[in-house]
Amino acid sequence: MTRRGLIKAGSAAGALAVTAPALAARQATAAPVAEPSEWREITPALTGYIAGARGHRIPGAIRERARLHILDTLAAIVACQPLEAAKLGRSYAAAMSPHGESPILASRQTASPVDAVFASAMTAHAAEINDFIPSAYVQPGPAIVPVALEAARLNGRTGADLVGAVTAGYEIAGRLPKAIGTRNLYLAGLANHGVAPTFGAAAAAAPLMGLSAEQVDHMLAYCAQQASGSWQWLLDVRHVEKAFVFGGMGARNGMQAAQMAKLGYTGVPASFDNENAWFRWRAFQGEGADHASLVEGLHEHYELSLSAMKRYPVGGPTQPAVRALLDLRQTVRPDEVESITVAMPGEAATFERANMPALNIPYLAAIIMLDGRLDFVSAQSLERQESDTAAQAFARKVTVVRDEAQETGEGEDRTESARVTLVRKDGTREERYVAYVPGFPTHPLSKAEVEVKAHELVEPVLGTRKADRLVALCDGLDSAESVDPIIDLMRFESA
């Protein structure tokens, strides 16, 4: 099941809706896969891994990726703090716990630990700029990083402890949907994007809070009780419900589950092995389930190697078209353009009619050609999309079509591509083909590229000196005695 297979253009108004014709057909004919005759016990390996995360021996290259994903998430929080979802997250936290002392990142506000990480995570996913794991359909950074930072701050942990905990959080968040089977989650009506971050955030918090393996076992039971999230996020236009599902909900639920376990809450023991509990529920026994993969290869294969970053502040499938359009704009003026055709794999109509600005290719083409660049704020601006008549007129020149020749085969690494053809008013043509945009696991952003992206997001808000400081603090986490300097830098007056 691919993300493109889950989305298509919705109503005549352009709302996004879920579609899965292939899945529906399979559901009607495929019987559930029977339980294996011998169940491999999972709980001891899982709880031991999470509880011991601060002491794991992690390869240097993976530790570097963890530090870079921390930087990428913090840069997203800085850039997104003036957006609607971020403001609402802070308002909610202030209303729920006005006397709390935990910092809400990218603000001077404080709240209870649970409410503070909720608001910080809402901010992290207030726009389409944070990281993701394409093989799991999960965006881990918004929930995991704020929770890990707050748990490290509360418990006086080191930067190295934070890196180990974040690595464990990504490991669990990325592995869980694939172990259950992404198709099984979909057919159960559960969005990976809400379920996995709950477990990932809890897995990051637990070792920083000093939970034992037994306490982690109880924590997982409370994660299971809170594992939720509907695919109706696809219908969201304002990116508020989406920020809740992808970020705030997982951070809140994961932090809460870890704190409950620390306070002595008990839950169903060995809930990942009990055949009547969540992980082995009948809905998760269908095609694609591989429960043992949740713990197989721990310390050998890392989800951080499968994690991706967005180079531009737009949805993943629109990134190649954006890169091609930015390149074309260097030599073509907007008044020269007769038409633009964007050919891409998958459900092209989704990205031609999307109400959400960061997914709407005609709108993105219009602002790139008119402005001569892609501005972070404009890429997210529903107001500009709905009111800028010049952009609307230019967008009518843009057509998005499906190109099956660009589609990868079943089981092949997921990538994104686009072929953009621009026709001038004098009849001449320009074409750009972008096979991929760096950032996908197949072509990851280098350390230097991640730092450049962080500067682009942070400098307009905090200036060059503080952007340099944030990059340096994240790069030096493994030798940092405390995470307080990062927390201090992330405390400023929000817009």
d(CA 176, CA 276): 18
Q: Which residues contact 458 (CB under 8 A, 6 or more apart)?
A: 75, 78, 79, 466, 467, 470
pLDDT at 9 over 60: no
- Domain 316-434 fold: 60s Ribosomal Protein L30; Chain: A; (3.30.1330)
Angstrom distance (rounded) from CA 299 to CA 221: 24
Per the CB < 8 A criterion, the answer to whether 57 and 164 are in contact is: no
Is there a common fold for 40-306 and 316-434? no
The mean pLDDT of 61-89, rounded to a whole number, is: 97
Average pLDDT over residues 69-92: 97
**Residue 345: DSSP 8-state:** S
Task: Single out the residue of 286, 302, 281, 43 nearest to residue 181, CA to CA.
Answer: 286
Estimate the crossing angle of helix 159-180 against helix 60-80, to 10 degrees: 90
Indicate the range of 210-219, 271-280, 353-362, 413-422 predicted with least confidence. Answer: 413-422
The mean per-residue pLDDT over the stretch 97-114 comes to 97
Q: pTM score, two decimals?
A: 0.88
Which residues of 71-220 form beta strands (DSSP E)?
102-103, 110-111
Residue 376 and residue 33 in contact, taking contact as beta carbons nearer than 8 Å: no
Residue 23 above 60 pLDDT? Answer: no
- The 10s digit of each residue's pLDDT in 126-168 is 999 999 998 999 999 999 999 999 999 999 999 999 999 999 9
More confident residue, 22 or 430: 430
pLDDT in tens, 351-391: 999 988 999 999 999 999 999 999 898 999 999 999 999 99
CATH architecture designation of domain 40-306: Orthogonal Bundle (1.10)
Question: Averaged over 244-259, what is the pLDDT?
Answer: 98
Q: Range with the lowest mean pLDDT among 1-5, 115-119, 151-155, 218-222?
A: 1-5
The angle, 0 to 180 degrees and rounded to 10, between the axes of the packed helices 192-209 and 43-51 is 60
For residue 347, give the nearest of 424, 389, 407 by alpha carbon. Answer: 407
| Domain residue ranges of the chain, discontinuous segments joined by + | 40-306, 316-434
- H or E segment to which residue 384 belongs: helix 382-387
Q: Please report, for residues 127, 312, 375, 428, 436, the alpha-carbon distance to residue 368 in angstroms, rounded to integers and kept in the order given.
A: 18, 12, 8, 20, 19
Nearest partner of 175 among 189, 192, 161, judged by Cα: 192
pLDDT exceeds 90 at position 1: no
How far is residue 115's CA from residue 435's CA, in Å, rounded to a whole number? 42
Q: What is the mean pLDDT of the chain?
A: 91
